[in-house]
Chain A
Amino acid sequence: MQDASPPPGHDLQYEHAALGLSDAQVLAALRGMIVARTVDDRLWLLSRQGKAHFVITSAGHEATQFGCAWAVQIGRDYVVPYYRDMALVLALGQTPRDIFLHALGKAEDPASGGRQMFGHFNSRALRIVSGSSSVGSHPLHAVGLAWAFRITKETDLAAMTFFGEGATSEGAWHEAMTIAGIHQLPVVFVCENNQYAISVPQAREVPVPDVATKAAGYGMPGMVVDGNDLFAVYAAAQAALARARAGGGPTLLECKTYRLRPHSNADDDRKYRRVEEVDAWRARDPITRLERYALHSELIDPAGLADIRTAVVAEVDVAIAEAERAPNPAIESLLHHLYGE
């Protein structure tokens, strides 16, 4: 429950004005993060109702994903996300309705027309590129896109790709880093380090405390930021993307965060995470921290926040209702898109 009076102070690294962000931008991001969390809540409900077969969460990762999205030139830079990035694609311009259409496998699902399981986001217009479920394999595509810019002669753009710390054990990830480093390609590799690969803790999946230190071996800088601090993520992502676009080469940006829900609806995180640990991270919930900042900076008051939350619930209700009513893909369309027609 939100306390009625604003708590003293905040714990974000920067003041937004110092980063050139307007009050309105901060409030829009706050609202967006609340939308993302609400959509996430409702996805789990749809799963429990047996309507969405597979659900995977972005809860807890919102500051990382919104901070990076702020730095992206939407529709110009390419984004190659992974299954954790629902909040990211909302921040990039997909709507709650799009998300529910995707989760329910509807014909109008903008990711795939009901082909792909949830979490494989895709939008040609927004330059969001879908991957397969094979962990750690998609950063190669970001490298390929960035490599192709040299031939398409598109300039002043970059590719940004996202993955978990567990994915950095896969061979394909190392090959992506190697090629990007050799050619100094305009790619920003964003590691959303939530400290677990499903049940396996970081110490058993990554041999170093900071994934970012891996960057040195591939000829690129590595940066570590507090992934639950929207402004810290934005500042780092902005710097990395600007460098990439200007021909300065790739960066590995590690955002330390935590997933606040089980890995997916097939998981039970109580089997491997202590309640106290989860609670400690709940206290560092990126949305709560941004709310505290907004209250402290008098961008909004408690009543204003309550209004946002009410409006968001109504908006999400409408989105679900629309998505549920939408038609399923027709059986006759089964073989569409297997090859070019």
Chain B
Amino acid sequence: MAIMTYRQALNDTLGEELARDSNVVLMGEEIGKFQGSYRITEGLQSEFGKHRVVDTPIAEEGFVGLAVGAAMLGMRPIVEIMTINFILVAIDQIVNHASKIHYMFGGQVRVPLVIRTPSGGVGQLAATHSQSFENWFAYCPGLKVVAPATPYDVKGLMRSAVRDDDPVIFIESLALYDTKGEVPRDEDYTLPIGVAEVKRAGTDVTVVSYSRMTVVALQVAQNLAQEGISVEVVDLRSLRPLDRTTIIESVKKTNRAVVLEEDWYSYGIGAEIAATIQEGAFDYLDAPVLRVAGVEVPLPYAAKLSQASKPGAPDLIRAIKRVLEGGKQWPK
């Protein structure tokens, strides 16, 4: 195992995939000369040249559509969208085109495209720089959506995403780029898309989360262990396809569940998880499934307002304690 940051795991894997397959190309704003707004593509343009690591104009719909076209010819574009907020400009190409082409053309054409973008907020970047939209894509059949929480998962899932013949939305996290972890050196190492992982085993309650919230959940689990509370953390890793079995099996064991998500409360990923649990483990539940999510407001700039809007460890601890108390009082 090597120890590296989430950023380095991304950078390494992109470089390896560029070297492995000449059909792999990177495109996006500021990714070449500037080496990426968050330095994910550092060194790649100088190593692979301007035709394989392409700076695009500020035209997200344009270059995502271009990537869809190129992918139909067998290219494997990896498109960086600076942050997920700006993917909205390109959503027509993703939802009305990339996700549907294989199906609507009767299986004759594949779209081996990866779109990678950081979701969620860090610091005080306010309403239009801090949103979480992975659920918008997880909703859409024909897309695959992954959201790794660790450098280990980044490497395995990025390799799988690039080699997958279907369009994959690869969700990153600004707040995780500098976090460190172990990464296998094995050249054949990949992780399957659509498989969740129990990142910490426990017996009292299951916390389901993904991306940065998994890291928060693991910290909370560790802290609560000192109070004698045993938390199992299920990291989804993939949002579509969703590994319902792992979630259900965990809840059958612990009988309680909390979902921790950075997106807005209503219609978020947590709603799908809660529904999955009640469908698959209703008779095992000792308490309602709770969701810990963002306050439903455009994220404000002012520091205190911003903090008050984001879900965090204290909210998760409160929710865990409530489900452990049993099912007596359940306002909201």
Contacts and interface: CB of A to CB of B under 8 A. Distances in A.
Contacts of A166: 57-58
A271 interface: yes
Contacts of B124: 53-54, 105, 117
Contacts of B29: 197-198, 200
Contacts of B309: 334
17 contacts: A105-B301, A114-B302, A115-B298, A115-B302, A133-B126, A133-B129, A134-B89, A166-B57, A169-B62, A197-B29, A200-B30, A204-B55, A272-B33, A328-B303, A329-B300, A331-B304, A334-B297
A37 interface: no
Interface string B294-317: 011110111111001100000000
Contacts of A271: 33-35
Contacts of B57: 166, 169, 197, 200, 204-206
A300 interface: no
B127 A116 contact: yes
B303 A117 contact: no
B33 to A, nearest CB: 6
A334 B309 CA distance: 8
Shortest Cβ-Cβ A-B pairs, 3 listed = A114-B302, A199-B34, A105-B302
B190 interface: no
A132 B29 CA distance: 19
B85 A171 contact: no
A280 B297 CA distance: 46
B300 A334 contact: yes
Contacts of B59: 169-171
Contacts of B62: 169, 171
A338 interface: yes
For A114, A137, A197, A333, which residue has the most chain B Cβ atoms within 10 angstroms? A114
Interface in A162-183: 166-167, 169-172
A329 B305 CA distance: 7
Nearest to A107: B302
A311 to B, nearest CB: 31
A115 B130 CA distance: 13
A338 B297 CA distance: 7
Interface of B: 29-30, 33-35, 37, 55, 57-62, 85-86, 88-89, 123-129, 295-298, 300-305, 308-309
Contact of B128 (A118, A134, A198, A335): A134
Given A167-B58, A199-B33, 16 more contacts: A115-B127, A116-B301, A117-B126, A118-B301, A132-B127, A132-B128, A133-B85, A169-B59, A171-B59, A171-B62, A198-B29, A200-B55, A204-B55, A272-B33, A335-B295, A338-B296
A136 interface: yes
B4 to A, nearest CB: 23
B168 to A, nearest CB: 24
B77 to A, nearest CB: 18
A53 B61 CA distance: 30
B305 A334 contact: yes
Nearest to B128: A133
A63 to B, nearest CB: 25
A133 B303 CA distance: 19
A112 B60 CA distance: 28
Nearest to B298: A115
Interface in A314-341: 328-329, 331, 333-335, 338
Interface in A83-140: 105-106, 112, 114-118, 132-137
B163 to A, nearest CB: 30
Nearest to A174: B59
A124 B51 CA distance: 47
A197 B58 contact: yes
A331 B58 contact: no
A271 B300 CA distance: 31
B305 to A, nearest CB: 5
Contact of A136 (B58, B302, B305): B58
Contacts of A334: 295, 297, 300, 305, 308-309
A335 B58 contact: no
B304 to A, nearest CB: 6
Contacts of A115: 126-127, 298, 300-302, 305
A106 B58 contact: no
Given A170-B59, A172-B89, A334-B305, A116 B30 contact: no
A295 to B, nearest CB: 40
Contact of B302 (A106, A171, A198): A106
Contacts of A53: 123-125, 301, 303
Interface string A54-93: 1000000000000000000000000000000000000000
A115 B126 CA distance: 7
A107 B33 CA distance: 40
For B60, B296, B297, B300, which residue has the most chain A Cβ atoms within 10 angstroms? B300
A328 B58 contact: no
A53 B302 CA distance: 9
Contact of B61 (A117, A135, A171, A199): A171
Contact of A170 (B33, B58, B304): B58
Contacts of A331: 304-305, 308
